[in-house]
Structure 1
Amino acid sequence: MSELEEEPLPALDLRLTAENLEDLYEYAPCGYCSCLPDGTLVKLNQTLLGWLGYSREELVARRCLQDLLTVGGRLHYETYCAPLLLLQNQVKEISYQLRLQNGSTLPVLMNAVLLRDTNGQPLVVRVTLFDITDRRKYEQELLRAKAEAEVQGEQLARANELLTIRNEQLTRINAELDNFVYTASHDLKQPASNMLGLFEELKQTITFHDPQADKMVTMFDESLHQMLSTIEELTMLVQRQRQLEQVPLEAIELRPFAEEIIRSLQPGTTSTADFTLDFEAAPTLRITRTGLHSMLFNLLSNALKYSEPGRRPHVWVSTTPADKEVVLSVRDNGRGLDLERHGHDLFQLFRRFHPEVVGSGIGLYLVNRLVHQAGGRIEVESTVGEGTAFHIHLPT
């Protein structure tokens, strides 16, 4: 004998053994009824009568089971359910709607068994009905949610399609703008160079007697040089972006890379600024070499160019690993920016915020485009008179 068989049975409340079978039938949590093979009702329990709202006398021997169903349910019972009962003596989980005495309906799930006499002739049909109101509400809610999801899916698909079209348009427009900028700068470069040469000759052959002439000549000369410099930088900008599209990614060790850029910014043996490098958290970065060089060179040169007068420049460069990305940060103690005033124009082409410092307004624009081209984003923190920090988020 197994251990399970040897275990003593738990003590039973003797009141449970006195359960009234008639009450169990009458007040079961489901509806019971019995009917003749033609559907004439011969017995119903009190649960079913309570659902229907009829008395026993109104239904027994006076109504048929199919009379309790809606028109569609009655047609289904007579053409499908009744023949199936005769064929296989039972049907399971057929959904119907009961017509109640007050005119409303009740969704039920029907199971039925056909009993036969000793001669095999149909004798009586025993029917069990389960109230599925809550289940029907749940199913309807699921269908509604599914319909809403399908509508949202279609809307999302249309939005994605529109976004794809917009992206293609923007890509085409950007390419056309780049071509325009490159062509315009290329075509303007030679005339601007000719103007500069002619002006140099003019300064040597003509004598100006106006006391303001020297100042005007100097201003005109500076403007010519600035125009030529801008044209050259625009040409370089487009060329560099085109080159980067063909340059492969590589794992770059950041410390020697940054130190090389710093040496190029501070030629000679005397340093004019302090640099603190911290790449311990992420010593390498997978990116195009020329793209990273342009980013760091522009940010580091800006940190030196826009240093606070009377304060020795100090620049901190570091990396921080984040979720599926690396944050490359460049922070300085320079003049800083009023981001509330200039933040939305910070990366626009030709935008300059310290006119007293010579510049073209191209550097930050180039940095921003290179960061986006690498699949990243850039954040800026700045306080006027204290310094600026650029945080470049790049995918790993």
Structure 2
Amino acid sequence: MRALIRIFSVVLLFIGFLAHSTAAREPVLKVLAGQKYEEIGQDILIFKDYTHQVSFQEILSEQYQKQFERGNQDVLSFGLQDISLWLKINVELEHSESVPYMLEIAFPTLDSIFYFYQDGDRWGEMFAGDRIPFSEREIDHKNFVFPIQPAPRKITTVYLRIRNKGSIILPIKIAPKEGFFAADLQEELLYGIFYGIMIVMFLYNLFLAFAARSLSYLYYIGIIAGNLFSLSALNGHAFQYLWPNNPWWANHVIIFGIGFWIFSGNLFAIRFLESNKNSRGYHIGFKVMRFMGLIIIVLAFVLDYEISLVIANYTLAFNCVYLLANGILFWRKGVKVAEIFTMAWALYLIGILLYTLRNLGFLPVNFMTTHVLEFGAVSEVILLSISFGYKYRLLEVDKKKAQKNVLDIMTRSQELIQLQNDDLEHRIQERTQELKQKQDEVLQQNEELNAKNEKLTEAQTIIEQQNILLRKYNDDLENQVATRTNDLQQSNQELAQNVQQLEQYAFMTAHNLRAPVARLLGLTNLLELSPDTDKQEWMMILSKIKEEGNSLDAVIKDMNAIIQLRSAADVELEWVNIEEKVNQVKRILKNSIAVSKIEILLNTKAFTEIKSNPTYIESILYNLISNAIKYKAPGDHSYIEIKTERLEENLLVSVRDNGVGINLDKYGNQLFGMYKRFHPHIEGKGLGLFLVKSQMSILGGDVKVESTPGLGTTFKLFFPLSL
């Protein structure tokens, strides 16, 4: 039993030793001078850093060296993985002399590559990637190229740290520096043919678009432009030659090109297949995909590159499938041009699917899967161009058929017209004979009618003369009636106004006299009830009677003033100097102006004189200025500004103050009423604005008010220009 245990232990130790020995043996790429080595993925060691935190010094430690794994593919492909990828490459030159080599990664869209190499006793570092300007690359090449100097008969180790937001595909090759660039000529020649075909088709169809004035050609060259944007960026040529100092655009132009291709492709499909006529539902689908193309174009500028790239790729794949399905549908519906259209999209779709599966790691990386998009784009462009010619040939055939049908119809129409003309001519001859007979009868009847017409003419002349006299009499009568009607209407209006004014006056008289008369009666009744009242009380009652008599007298005077104002049917007009009238009012109110310390400003630049009634003008200015003085705001900076202005239809005199103002929302409808007062704490009758309004009405003018409580009031006096 113990012997078996010992044997088992020895076997385990031997197996462990073998495993350790196997792990210790790292792959070494043995190169011969002048030889080129491609697809060396299985000679590379790999470590996947999912944390993105491992440094180069840590990679050199034994802990991480044990975690390196050997590559299992000739071309390493990791799909869309969010990792930092460490590569370790051991190279041994089987030659006695040192020969410089170049290490190339033929995938131009990698974000960042750190290259670590041995420089004597220390490690050197280089950086590359499509996130830095192209001019900062150590070696001018569309792919990422680093120098490597393997030592003769000795293992030289280099490390690469690679990070990319998109697919990670690593076609790595090592080639001698001498002749390295010359080896790319064949591939660049193929790219030149590809770009040449695309650019020639672009320019040719651009010329056709302007010559034929067809939007279909413009949409078609949009497809070509979208392909050129995306593919030139994916191949690295756009970054190398077009925008080498703009790495941001070098990445995002791929998304922009995809969006532009989707947008133009669906516009082309709508126009080319005439989807609005053949299938309304699929036409809406084309418009939705066109809108998605616009969204992707916008996302290229505003969204994170990784997210927008995923959205663009999925949308592109779906759009190709949708276009292919619609091509098949329209083909089955009998749309002849859909046949070549479908084949074009089928080849392009196959190319996109193969390219996508390669990027995701499902297909191997080889010449076909690497360049399938270029083949698909060229075939798509050529087939779509052929479909253009085919479509216009069909249109030409249909045009000839339509012309032949038109000629046949015209021939049949001419035959029918000839038959109708013959029949019509026969009928005309018959009708001509009938008309000739009728004409003879008509001539005879005309002779009889002429004799009667002569008599009628004489009678008509007499009637016309009488009608002229009658119309003249009617015109005179209508003018008289119109004049009398106007006079009666004016009289009725004046009478109605007078009646209304008399009613108002009677009401105001009764209202204003009632209070003082009632108080007088009350005082006299008090004397009758108390005849033995002492002298002092008698004197007090008499003083009250006197006050009420004065109040009654004031009311009567106000009524007389109103009566005189109402009775002024015609006022005499003369030229009135505004400045003189303002000065006259200032003399009358001299004491009030001095006490209130108010400043009166006069601006008569527009006009100085107005044709009006001087008494009314002075009364109006007096009432407005005295009101402004009464209702001035507290403080020493009060003013009244009087200004003249010329309007299109009126002469304007404005009186503005910065007083307490009036609440027009509350009192606007009562402002020009008789005995209306809105500031009870200030002495007044409430008659001034009533007189202003009445006098302006008599003068044929109008008055308007603008006021804000606490900020002041402006009275605007509008005088007619006719005065």
Q: TM-score when scaled to structure 2?
A: 0.30
From the superposition, tell whether residues 63 and 193 of structure 1 become closer, same or farther in structure 2 (CA, over 3 Å).
farther
Indicate yes or no: 2:553 matched with 1:205: no
Which one of 540, 559, 569 corresponds to residue 245 of structure 1?
Answer: 569
- Name 2:700's counterpart in structure 1: 375
Shift of 1:264: 0.4
Shift of 1:256: 1.5
Shift of 1:167: 2.6
Shift of 1:169: 4.5
Shift of 1:308: 1.7
Output the CA distance in 2 between the equivalents of 1:61 and 1:293: 99
Output the CA distance in 1 between the equivalents of 2:430 and 2:699: 74
Which one of 575, 582, 591 corresponds to residue 258 of structure 1?
Answer: 582
Q: Secondary structure at the match of 1:285?
A: strand
Output the CA distance in 2 between the equivalents of 1:239 and 1:161: 25
Indicate yes or no: 2:490 matched with 1:167: no
Equivalent residues of 1:192, 1:227 under 8 A apart: no
Output the CA distance in 1 between the equivalents of 2:522 and 2:549: 6
Letter in 2 for 1:303: A
Q: Secondary structure at the match of 2:537?
A: coil
Shift of 1:341: 1.5
Q: Which deviates the most, 171-180 or 305-314? A: 171-180
From the superposition, tell whether residues 187 and 246 of structure 1 become closer, same or farther in structure 2 (CA, over 3 Å).
farther
Cα deviation code 1:333-375 (max 9, x no counterpart): 1110111111122112222111111222221111111111111
Equivalent residues of 2:592, 2:629 under 8 A apart: no
Letter in 2 for 1:355: P
Output the CA distance in 2 between the equivalents of 1:66 and 1:290: 94
- Name 1:353's counterpart in structure 2: 678
Letter in 2 for 1:248: E
Q: Secondary structure at the match of 2:427?
A: coil
Output the CA distance in 2 between the equivalents of 1:310 and 1:219: 37
Q: Secondary structure at the match of 2:659?
A: coil
Letter in 2 for 1:263: R
Output the CA distance in 2 between the equivalents of 1:218 and 1:327: 48
- Name 2:654's counterpart in structure 1: 329
Cα deviation code 1:279-325 (max 9, x no counterpart): 12110011111111221111111111111233553111111111242
Q: Secondary structure at the match of 1:60?
A: helix
Output the CA distance in 2 between the equivalents of 1:268 and 1:386: 21
Indicate yes or no: 2:693 matched with 1:363: no
Q: Secondary structure at the match of 1:319?
A: strand
Output the CA distance in 2 between the equivalents of 1:295 and 1:332: 15
Shift of 1:171: 2.6
- Name 2:644's counterpart in structure 1: 319
Equivalent residues of 2:516, 2:551 under 8 A apart: no
1:37-48 paired onto structure 2 within 5 Å = none
Q: TM-score when scaled to structure 1?
A: 0.51
- Name 1:62's counterpart in structure 2: 427
From the superposition, tell whether residues 268 and 385 of structure 1 become closer, same or farther in structure 2 (CA, over 3 Å).
closer
Equivalent residues of 2:516, 2:548 under 8 A apart: no
From the superposition, tell whether residues 189 and 231 of structure 1 become closer, same or farther in structure 2 (CA, over 3 Å).
farther
From the superposition, tell whether residues 62 and 361 of structure 1 become closer, same or farther in structure 2 (CA, over 3 Å).
same
From the superposition, tell whether residues 339 and 190 of structure 1 become closer, same or farther in structure 2 (CA, over 3 Å).
closer
Equivalent residues of 1:321, 1:327 under 8 A apart: yes
Output the CA distance in 2 between the equivalents of 1:279 and 1:65: 94
Output the CA distance in 2 between the equivalents of 1:268 and 1:221: 28
From the superposition, tell whether residues 309 and 192 of structure 1 become closer, same or farther in structure 2 (CA, over 3 Å).
farther
From the superposition, tell whether residues 299 and 268 of structure 1 become closer, same or farther in structure 2 (CA, over 3 Å).
closer
Q: Secondary structure at the match of 1:348?
A: coil
- Name 2:214's counterpart in structure 1: none
From the superposition, tell whether residues 237 and 346 of structure 1 become closer, same or farther in structure 2 (CA, over 3 Å).
same
Equivalent residues of 2:513, 2:555 under 8 A apart: no
- Name 1:304's counterpart in structure 2: 629
Output the CA distance in 2 between the equivalents of 1:181 and 1:282: 42
Cα deviation code 1:135-190 (max 9, x no counterpart): xxxxxxxxxxxxxxxxxxxxxxxxx9997576344333245347747986998899
Letter in 2 for 1:279: T
Structure 2: tracts of 5 or more residues without a match: 1-412, 433-437, 451-485
Letter in 2 for 1:171: Q
Q: Secondary structure at the match of 1:281?
A: coil
Equivalent residues of 2:575, 2:612 under 8 A apart: yes
Equivalent residues of 1:178, 1:238 under 8 A apart: no
Indicate yes or no: 2:534 matched with 1:176: no
Question: RMSD of the alignment, in Å?
Answer: 5.0
Shift of 1:205: 3.4
Which one of 230, 237, 246 corresponds to residue 555 of structure 2?
Answer: 230
Indicate yes or no: 2:715 matched with 1:385: no
Cα deviation code 1:226-264 (max 9, x no counterpart): 55433321221221342x434310101111111111110
Letter in 2 for 1:265: L
Q: Secondary structure at the match of 1:359?
A: coil
Q: Secondary structure at the match of 2:588?
A: helix
Equivalent residues of 1:181, 1:235 under 8 A apart: no
Output the CA distance in 2 between the equivalents of 1:63 and 1:369: 87
Equivalent residues of 1:332, 1:388 under 8 A apart: yes
Output the CA distance in 2 between the equivalents of 1:341 and 1:57: 92
Greater relative contact order (CA < 8 Å, ≥ 6 in sequence): 1
Q: How many residues align?
A: 254
Indicate yes or no: 2:604 matched with 1:279: yes
Letter in 1 for 2:684: G
Equivalent residues of 2:512, 2:555 under 8 A apart: no
Q: Where is the strand percentage greater, Structure 1 or Structure 2?
A: 1
Identity %, equivalent residues: 25
Structure 1: tracts of 5 or more residues without a match: 1-45, 68-74, 88-159, 209-213
From the superposition, tell whether residues 373 and 313 of structure 1 become closer, same or farther in structure 2 (CA, over 3 Å).
same
Letter in 2 for 1:325: N
From the superposition, tell whether residues 276 and 177 of structure 1 become closer, same or farther in structure 2 (CA, over 3 Å).
same
Output the CA distance in 1 between the equivalents of 2:553 and 2:523: 12
Q: Secondary structure at the match of 1:385?
A: coil
Q: Secondary structure at the match of 1:267?
A: helix
Q: Secondary structure at the match of 1:360?
A: coil
